[in-house]
């Protein structure tokens, strides 16, 4: 088996970089959604929570 060419190395590096960027983006989106959900629960309104669930979150 021959060693990988420069093109293959560059392609692999680009794929790895793209996966890292997508992973960071997903973590950011999840954290943002979680923070937004907590604010909605604290306010006691919003489409994501039923009144029963809002009562639990408000204590």
| 42 CB-near residues (< 8 Å, 6+ apart) | 57, 58
Q: Count of CB atoms within 10 A of residue 32's CB?
A: 10
* Tens-place pLDDT, residues 8-44: 999 999 999 999 999 999 999 888 888 776 665 566 5
| Global model pTM greater than 0.75 | no
**Are the CB atoms for 55 and 42 separated by under 8 Å?**
no
Phi and psi at 28, nearest 5°, equal -60, -45
């Amino acid at each position: 088996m021959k060693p990988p060419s420069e093109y293959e190395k560059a392609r692999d590096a680009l794929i790895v970089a793209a996966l890292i960027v997508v992973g960071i983006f997903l973590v950011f989106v999840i954290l943002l959604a979680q923070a937004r959900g907590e604010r909605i629960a604290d306010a006691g309104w919003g489409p994501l929570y039923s009144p029963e669930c809002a009562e639990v979150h408000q204590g």
